[in-house]
């Protein structure tokens, strides 16, 4: 008897949308080590977090008890415009590969920010507004986060200042213009609008800027401006919490259509899309009921999980943030400039780090040119031009599907296509022109980064 053909798009109706975020911290059998205050080296308290973040987000950061956290109605109203994001059966890719594997992808790029970042941006802006704040600051590198937060702030009528890494602002003027169209003030960093920016410029007038510097400028302005806080788009646990909407929808849709996955795949940089995608699937991994594997994919040029150290480190190169226990290449690690797109962060969200350390998830790393080869193949068969970041997942999924072709296994593979590459055309041009190169740091390169990990008692 012929099997029933699943629709190409595994749709959810609005009434089937998840009403809660999923908090992995509530189900970890052993909690991850607490964040430490950089001055006292004592665990960060709510008050510590409230210095930089709004209260509700600080509470979420510290919440290790509530498995489900209700999504406020106002945020649901926004989500309903852009969600559920489609879960798509990649029939055409499967056919072109000639694989018996079933491939599904959760596509988060169907919004103007071009990625999943909007899921947390709207939540963070909402809580800030509810607390009576009138403006926010943040940093952005590649620009997806800055765009997403600009959209969220425009929607809620809040002011936003984005410190955008100078070389990125110059290379991606369109990203800057989109943020400005949404009303954000975009300042190439380092700038003369902050003390730290002036200091850096005085020392090095021609610097191209860095994410670490942009963080420091955004933090400085937030601290000095009334009714203003700093927000960020990855790494912290409350960001992963908001992104769990991705996994919640994926799980609901798979259950609705009777698909039992064998392998869940997502790319990983700071952990936001990966953490959100796997969130509701992790409990069954922990209690041993899951028959699926969970696989993270990182670039070989910035291999925080596969080659990093599990230690307390700063989140920024300026060493201003709390210390987090995470897989890290050292806060001084800088990926090679030939690395395109995001996934450049030196460390990894603490929950994801803990899950990896305890063996609940696996990680593999891939090279840039092979990633773009997969990206172009996907674009030609599935129609979507993927983000370089998301294409790391595609590389691994195609390889897995080709293995299934050898073995005949009908593996069900589900991956998160976290965004589109519409603003990453320069990297595609390099790939087309065959001027794109690969880079794998040597052990000596890594040692230089490791030397920047703080030498504190907790790291002994």
Q: Which is nearer to its own copies, 88 or 221 (CB)?
A: 88
**CB-based contacts of 97, cutoff 8 Å, min separation 6:** 398, 401, 402, 405
Alpha helices in 231-367 (DSSP H): 237-256, 272-278, 282-286, 304-307, 350-357
- The yes or no reply on residue 19 touching its own copies (CB under 8 A) is no
Q: Which is nearer to its own copies, 60 or 111 (CB)?
A: 111
> What x-and-dash track marks residues 94-123 binding its own copies by CB under 8 A?
----------------xxx-x---x-----
Shortest distance, CB of residue 111 to its own copies, whole angstroms?
6
Shortest distance, CB of residue 145 to its own copies, whole angstroms?
16
Pairing of strands 159-165, 87-89: unpaired
What Å distances lie between residue 364 and 260, 320, 429, CA to CA?
23, 31, 26
Shortest distance, CB of residue 399 to its own copies, whole angstroms?
21
From 134, 204, 429, 458, residue interacting with its own copies (rule: CB under 8 A):
429
Alpha-carbon dihedral 377, 381, 387, 390, rounded to 10 degrees: -80
- The yes or no reply on residue 193 touching its own copies (CB under 8 A) is no
d(CA 274, CA 246): 9
Residue 368 · residue 336 · CB < 8 Å = no
Q: Which is nearer to its own copies, 359 or 383 (CB)?
A: 383
Q: Specify the DSSP class assigned to residue 6.
A: P
d(CA 204, CA 116): 35
Q: Which of residues 404-423 bind its own copies (CB under 8 A)?
A: 420, 422-423
Q: Which of residues 223-252 bind its own copies (CB under 8 A)?
A: none
- The yes or no reply on residue 170 touching its own copies (CB under 8 A) is no
From 19, 199, 224, 380, residue interacting with its own copies (rule: CB under 8 A):
380
Dihedral sign from CA coordinates of 138, 300, 309, 296: positive
- The yes or no reply on residue 379 touching its own copies (CB under 8 A) is yes
> What x-and-dash track marks residues 52-91 binding its own copies by CB under 8 A?
-------------------------xx-xxx-----x--x
Shortest distance, CB of residue 68 to its own copies, whole angstroms?
23
> What x-and-dash track marks residues 309-348 binding its own copies by CB under 8 A?
----------------------------------------
Radius of gyration of the chain (CA): 21
Q: Which is nearer to its own copies, 70 or 173 (CB)?
A: 173
What Å distances lie between residue 400 and 305, 363, 388, 410, CA to CA?
20, 14, 19, 11
Burial of 345 (0-12, 13-18, 19+ CB in 10 A): buried
d(CA 349, CA 313): 11
For binding to its own copies (CB under 8 A), which residues are involved? 7-9, 11, 13-15, 77-78, 80-82, 88, 91-92, 110-112, 114, 118, 151, 154-155, 173-174, 177-178, 180-183, 376, 379-385, 420, 422-423, 425-426, 428-429, 431-432
């Amino acid at each position: 008897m012929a099997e029933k053909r699943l629709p190409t798009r595994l749709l959810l109706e609005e009434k089937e949308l998840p009403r809660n975020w999923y908090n992995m911290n509530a189900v970890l059998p052993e909690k991850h080590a607490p964040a430490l205050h950089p001055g006292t080296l004592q665990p960060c308290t709510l008050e510590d977090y409230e210095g930089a973040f709004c209260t509700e987000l600080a509470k979420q950061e510290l919440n290790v008890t509530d498995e489900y956290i209700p999504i406020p109605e106002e945020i649901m109203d926004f989500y309903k415009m852009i969600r559920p994001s489609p879960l798509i059966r990649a029939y055409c890719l499967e056919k072109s590969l000639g694989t018996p594997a079933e491939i599904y992808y959760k596509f988060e790029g169907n919004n103007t920010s071009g990625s999943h970042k909007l899921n947390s941006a709207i939540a963070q802006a909402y809580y800030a507004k509810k607390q009576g704040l009138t403006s926010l600051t943040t940093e952005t590198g590649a620009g997806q986060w800055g765009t997403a937060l600009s959209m969220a702030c425009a929607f809620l009528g809040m002011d936003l200042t984005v410190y955008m890494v100078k070389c990125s602002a110059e290379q991606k003027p369109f990203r800057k213009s989109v943020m400005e169209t949404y009303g954000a003030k975009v300042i190439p960093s380092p700038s003369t609008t902050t003390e730290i920016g002036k200091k850096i410029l005085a020392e090095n007038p021609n610097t191209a800027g860095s994410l670490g510097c942009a963080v420091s400028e955004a933090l400085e302005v937030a601290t000095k401006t009334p009714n203003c806080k700093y927000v960020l788009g990855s790494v912290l646990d409350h960001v992963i919490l908001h992104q769990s909407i991705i996994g919640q929808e994926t799980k609901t849709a798979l259950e609705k259509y009777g698909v039992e996955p064998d392998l869940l795949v997502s790319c990983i940089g700071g952990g936001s899309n990966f953490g959100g995608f796997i969130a509701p699937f992790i409990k069954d991994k922990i209690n041993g009921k899951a028959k699926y594997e969970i696989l993270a994919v990182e670039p070989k040029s910035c291999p925080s999980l596969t080659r990093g150290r599990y230690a307390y480190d700063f989140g920024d190169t300026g060493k201003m943030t709390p210390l987090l226990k995470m897989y890290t290449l050292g806060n001084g690690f800088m990926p090679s400039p030939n690395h395109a797109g995001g996934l450049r962060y030196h460390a990894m969200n603490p929950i994801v780090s803990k899950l990896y350390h305890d063996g609940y998830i696996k990680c593999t790393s891939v090279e840039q040119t092979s990633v773009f080869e997969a990206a172009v193949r996907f674009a030609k068969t599935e129609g979507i031009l993927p983000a370089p970041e998301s294409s790391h997942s595609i590389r691994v999924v195609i390889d897995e599907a080709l293995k299934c072709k050898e073995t005949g296994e009908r593996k069900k593979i589900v991956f998160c296509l976290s965004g589109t590459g519409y603003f990453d055309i320069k990297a595609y041009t390099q790939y087309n022109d065959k001027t794109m190169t690969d880079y794998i740091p040597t052990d000596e390169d890594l040692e230089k980064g490791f030397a920047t990990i703080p030498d504190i008692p907790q790291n002994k």
